[in-house]
Amino acid sequence: MTGDHSLHIVSLALGGCLRGEPVAYGITEDTGGHIAYILGEMRALAAHGAVTQAEIVTRLFDAPELGAIHGCAHEPLGPKLSITRIDSGNRAYLAKEALAADRDAFARAFITHLRARDRLPDLIHAHFADAADVAARVRRELGIPFIYTAHSLGIDKRDCAMAPRDTPTLQARIAEEDAAIARADAIVASSVDECERQLPAYPSADAARIHRLRPGVDMTVPDAAARAGAAAMIAPFLRHADRPIVLAVARPVAKKNLVALVEAFGRDPRLRHRANLVLLAGLRKGLVGGEPEQDRVLSGIADAIDRHDLHGHVAWPRNHSRDEVQALYALARDSGGVFVNPALTEPYGLTLIEAASHGLPVVATCRGGPADIVGELENGLLVEPTDRAEIANAVRTLIEDRPLWLRASNSGREGVRSMGWDRYASGFVALAREVTGRVVANRAVMPVPRALALCDIDNTLTGCAEGARRLSAYLARHRDTVFGVATGRSILEAQRVLREWSLPFPSVWVTSVGSEIYWQRGEDRIADHDYARSLARGWDGDAVHDALRDLPTLTPQGRSEQREFKRSYFLHDPARLAQVRERLDRAGLKTRVIFSHEKLLDILPVEGGKAAAMRHVATTLGLTPEDVFAAGDSGNDIDMLTDCRNAILVGNHAPELARLSERDNVYLTRRHHAGGTLEGIVAHRFARRRGVAA
Ligand code: GLC
Ligand code: MG
């Protein structure tokens, strides 16, 4: 990276027909939404002041029927924005296995191409796991870091109903995605669901490297000509062209569940006589002769239309342009219609946001990203995609309940205003700076730290409002004492509790029983990747879970308490603790077993825990063990209070810590809660000045 922090960013994707507009979406199975994402992303990055170059890199191929442009090595798209096409030696258009087989050659050609340059890009954004694999090789050879975006994850495909389960192809795909997750410097996903449920389901996922950036939405308003074109495109199919349009836009793949939509429409007598169904299911030459999955879906649609006598009620044109899609959203809105995404699982759901931007209410699958989009935009109804009656009901409700329709239409349009690609670009640039600079940014904004006060939260800082107020005031006066928390809670819960007690946010957060560390920088929190990496070695949370399965009186804590490097349970019979240890030993698992309040059981990597996190934080801040104060009250504080030279045991501590008060390094406070913590810090300070133990 250059001194002025300017960035040259490469966006890398191997499959599909990637080109500047007009893109023929759906022309091949791989020419899908990720292309709209890449073009939107790179246009916005090119317009960002910190970016010197936004370069899209893809495969070069000669297939005139797909567009001559794909044979051009260089396609300029605007100032600072271009496409570079790499010739792997095989100039055919490739999909699936053939594309995978070409990957080595592509990677070699790309690396050779980069080596010939005067200046290397600063960062690669890899789209899909195959591009991530190429990017990982580039990083190994040339040292360019990379960000991975999955777009759609195999694990979710495997777990969704009706999809073929666990085929070898799917297993290979999941393994490849896991490798991408393991090797990427950062992972960017679009929805909360991807960040908090889908990605964490992979063994190599590390929450600290997962970031959410909301993609922007193309807000072009279609002109009269485009609308006339779109109307003319569907008119020949429909007997009553004036009815509300129920619109679906999706590639003809099984996962998108389009046949179920036709079925739902056909089986609902009211709906089929009130509305028209319009399907934009990719681009096709005919019903056969395409890729096998596409042929299957198309014949399924044709069959459903036929069986339910839907001729004249369903329009499904063979071809459409991007402009016509935009125009159809607008036509559907003007008709009082609805957009439907019935996918069995949808990683994000960009089309739902597009629909919202046109003021078209949606009915969307409850599986995956749509739940957060619809939750956030309040632009429609969620449905269980396998329940056809539920889909039909929701569509009919929106069409018939005009006030509901209007609320969804307005709310969607309003909400989308804040979802511009420019915001995405700002977020991406901030992340790119972190990834390329690898700074623990917090150090820059703190005064030179002289000490660290690391405090447990529950019952150590909480419990007495007046004490909390006095401690806060003390910390505000002593800025050279870095304030940190070390809690069993997750980062989000820790934040909530500090807010509720009007305690300041710390400079460093040790959370989930010392299995996660975050550095606070202004509004941002930066996960400590080094620490996470040190815990990842040899840790296998699922194996922990398996080893403890069916142990009497042991029940898992809630889902949000099961973290990357922490498995938590309620153990109702403390006498069984020995059995817990025994089982973990027998399974050959090296873990740290932590027991608090006679019932809360945490299993962590052996290198984890509050003490380990405390040492890591102190080292990162350049402090010696003498400079650290640590305060706590219960079981999960034991390792930290044992290890810390200036340990503080608050007067209200749990009985399980009583023995600690006899140790020389531990100061037992008279006061309780935050007042006790403050008393301890002051006492240790005083003792240090006088050179005696407190
Ligand atoms: C916090 C955590 C919980 C853990 C407990 C003891 O309450 O939320 O998961 O078991 O601390 O460490
Ligand atoms: Mg506590």
Nearest CA to ligand 1 atom 1: 488
Helices 322-334 and 350-357: angle between axes, nearest 10 degrees: 60
Is residue 561 in contact with ligand 1, taking CB distance under 6 Å? yes
Which pair of structure tokens corresponds to residue 689?
A: 């000045």
For residue 622, give both structure tokens.
């350049």
Cα–Cα distance between 109 and 344 in angstroms, integer?
38
* Minimum CA distance residue for ligand 1 atom 5: 488
Ligand 1 pocket, 488 CB below 6 A? yes
Nearest ligand (C-alpha, residue 610): 1
639 in contact with ligand 1, CB cutoff 6 A: no
What contacts 205, CB < 8 A, 6 or more positions away? Answer: 181, 187, 199, 564
Count CB neighbours of 341 within 10 A: 29
Quote the pLDDT of residue 330.
96
Q: How far is ligand 1, taken at its centre, from the CA of residue 14, in Å?
A: 44
Say if residues 576 and 552 touch (Cβ distance below 8 Å): yes
DSSP 636: G
Task: Please measure the distance between the N-terminal and C-terminal CA atoms of the chain and give it in whole angstroms.
Answer: 49
Q: How far is the CA of 497 from the centre of ligand 1 (A)?
A: 13
Nearest ligand 1 atom to alpha carbon 602: 10
Prior bond of 22 cis (ω within 30°): yes
**Residue 636 Cβ < 6 Å to ligand 1:** yes
On the CB side of 323, CA atoms within 13 Å amount to 10
CB 663 within 8 A of CB 640: no
Specify the residue with its C-alpha closest to ligand 1, atom 8.
489
What ligand has the least distance to the C-alpha of 597?
Answer: 1
- pLDDT at residue 631, as a whole number: 98
Cα gap 145→415, rounded to integer Å: 34
Please indicate whether residue 233, judged by its CB atom, sits closer than 6 Å to ligand 1. no
Residue 504: what pLDDT? 86
Question: Are 147 and 135 within 8 A, CB to CB?
Answer: no
Structure-token pair, residue 485 = 């928390």
Cα(22)–Cα(33) distance, integer angstroms: 14
Cα 517 to averaged position of ligand 1 atoms, centre (Å): 16
The Å distance, Cα 208 to ligand 1 centre, comes to 19
| d(CA 110, ligand 2 centre) in Å | 53
Q: Is the dihedral of CA 563, 569, 574, 575 positive or negative?
A: negative
Question: What is the C-alpha separation between 607 and 221, in angstroms, rounded?
Answer: 56
Contacts 24+ apart (CB under 8 A), 304-308: 304/259, 304/262, 304/263, 304/266, 305/262, 305/266, 307/266, 308/262, 308/263, 308/265, 308/266, 308/267, 308/272
Helices (H), 387-517: 388-400, 402-416, 421-437, 442-445, 465-477, 491-500
Give the β-pairing of 591-596 and 600-605: antiparallel
Q: What single letter denotes the amino acid at residue 609?
A: G
* Amino acid code (one letter) for 428: F
**Closest ligand relative to 456 C-alpha:** 2
Q: What does the longest C-alpha to C-alpha distance in the chain come to? A: 94
Compute the half-sphere exposure of residue 365: CA atoms within 13 Å on the CB side of its CA: 26
Measured on CA atoms in the order 666, 667, 672, 676, is the torsion positive or negative?
negative
Ligand 1 center to 559 CA (angstroms): 12
> Closest-lying ligand to the alpha carbon of 594?
1
Domains of the chain, each with CATH number or no CATH: 7-212 (3.40.50.2000), 224-417 (3.40.50.2000), 440-534+608-690 (3.40.50.1000), 539-605 (3.90.1070.10)
Is the CB of residue 634 below 6 angstroms from any atom belonging to ligand 1?
A: no
Substitution candidate for ligand 1 out of 561, 598, 601 with most atoms within 8 A of CB: 561
Q: Where are the alpha helices (DSSP H) in 196-321?
A: 224-234, 258-267, 269-274, 292-307
Q: What is the pLDDT of residue 221?
A: 84
Question: Distance (Å, rounded) from C-alpha 119 to C-alpha 74?
Answer: 18
- The tokens describing 426, both together, are 């700002």
Angle (CA) 86 87 89, round 5°? 150
- DSSP secondary structure code for residue 198 in this structure: I
> Given this model, what pLDDT does residue 163 score?
53
Atom nearest to 489 CA in ligand 1? 8
Q: Which atom of ligand 1 is nearest to the CA of 561?
A: 9
Q: Of 454, 456, 460, give the one whose Cα is nearest residue 653.
A: 460
Characterise 648 by phi-psi region: left (phi > 0), alpha (psi -120 to 50), beta (else).
Answer: beta
* Ligand found nearest the CA of 457: 2
Question: Rounded to whole angstroms, how far apart are CA atoms 86 and 442?
Answer: 40
Report the separation in Å between the CA atom of 603 and the middle of ligand 1, taken as the mean of its atom positions: 11
* Cα–ligand 2 centroid distance for 458 (angstroms): 4
Mutate to test the pocket of ligand 1, among 596, 610, 640, 656 (most ligand atoms within 8 A of CB): 596
Nearest ligand, CA 461: 2
Q: Is the CB of 563 under 6 A from ligand 1?
A: no
Mark the ranges of the chain whose per-residue pLDDT is less than 50: 1-3, 439-445
Q: Ligand 1 centroid vs 250 CA: distance in angstroms?
A: 44
